[in-house]
A and B are shown apart, each in its own frame.
Chain A
Amino acid sequence: MPAFRVEVRVMPRAALLDPQGQAVTHALHALGFAEVGTARMGKHLVLDVEAASRDAALTRARAMCERLLANPVTEDFSVAVEPA
């Protein structure tokens, strides 16, 4: 079965306060990177997945996000799939 590299990006929902992103923003400003408006911080997961097709890998990855990798109350996710 073909192998795919699945990248999952999980971010705190935009409407919710992101204290980690806020801390990073402050640190960047303190280092003189005044051009930074805001930084938001999330998670990046890389999965090696076997699937019949790219679409099949995408469908499975979305199911993984809905079941475990992201919490729909607090987070949004996006999935990118490419051949391994």
Chain B
Amino acid sequence: MRRVAVVVFPGSNCEAETVAAAQDAGSDAYYVWHRDRDLRQADIVILPGGFSYGDYLRSGAIARFSPVMAAVVAHAQAGGPLLGICNGFQILCEAGLLPGGLMRNAGRKFLSRPVRIRIERTDTPFSAAYTAGEEIIAPIASGDGRFVMDEPAAIELEANGQVIWRYVGENPNGSTHDIAGVCNAARNVVGIMPHPERRNAPVLGGPDGARVFLSMEAGDATQHAGDLRAVGGHHSRV
């Protein structure tokens, strides 16, 4: 069981669903207030969706300077898994922990509806329980959902395999290369614009998003299994 800190900023509004989704996946999930400076031995950190600081100035621009962010940055720099969902994704881009930026939807409207996305890569702590190429339904709820970066940077991002989720069929917000989620170069920091926590059980329309959270626990299992190798008849930690 992994300890999952869900950070609550003033204006976050998806923290309850995010904690519930992580708990459903078997994690020990709990809230951390943005003024706290201690993540309480978190194995994994999630920045949930919402409208931190009213989206003033730019979405995520002010939250990135919250007191808790020093600990979040230290966690990420130490290789700890860090996920930003929707507004959390915006905060991670503003903090420079993820490449690119998020801007107003091309169609100007705030969009709140299910969309289809494809899992492009499974080699992150938050996509490991999916199959590459698999398509799922996930709800979006964003006004500033358009992921942007210039073309040379996008080509490099693609070449590095840092596009983790991509809109298929229809791109709802005009994002660069139909990108719905990315990771950093080290692959431990991940951002996703749709809300997997809003569709993690049949009662919510389907279990599509559940494996984002199951991946966190699966990563734990894989890591332990991989740590033990039989060498000369003895099991050694490698």
Name A residues whose Cβ lies closer than 8 Å to a Cβ of B: 12, 15-17, 19-20, 22-23, 43, 68-69, 71, 73-74
B148 interface neighbour in A23, A68, A69, A74, Cβ under 8 Å: A74
Q: In the complex where A19-B106, A20-B104 touch, is A73 in contact with B148 (Cβ < 8 A)? A: yes
Return the chain A residue nearest B107 by Cβ.
A19
**For chain A, what secondary structure do more than half of its interface residues adopt (helix, strand, loop), or is it mixed?**
mixed
Once bound together, how far apart are the Cα atoms of A12 and B101, in whole Å?
12
Of B58, B94, B103, B150, which is in contact with the most chain A CB atoms at under 10 Å from its CB? B103
Point out the residues of chain A lying under 8 angstroms from B174, CB to CB. 17
Q: In the complex where A74-B101, A74-B103 touch, is A68 in contact with B108 (Cβ < 8 A)? A: no
Determine whether the beta carbon of A12 is less than 8 Å from that of B103.
Answer: yes
Q: What are 28 pairs between A and B in contact, CB < 8 Å? A: A12-B103, A15-B150, A16-B103, A16-B148, A17-B106, A17-B146, A17-B174, A19-B104, A19-B105, A19-B106, A19-B107, A19-B108, A20-B104, A20-B108, A22-B108, A23-B108, A68-B57, A68-B61, A68-B65, A71-B58, A71-B61, A71-B94, A71-B101, A73-B100, A73-B101, A73-B149, A74-B58, A74-B148
Determine whether the beta carbon of B57 is less than 8 Å from that of A69.
Answer: yes
Return the chain B residue nearest A45 by Cβ.
B57
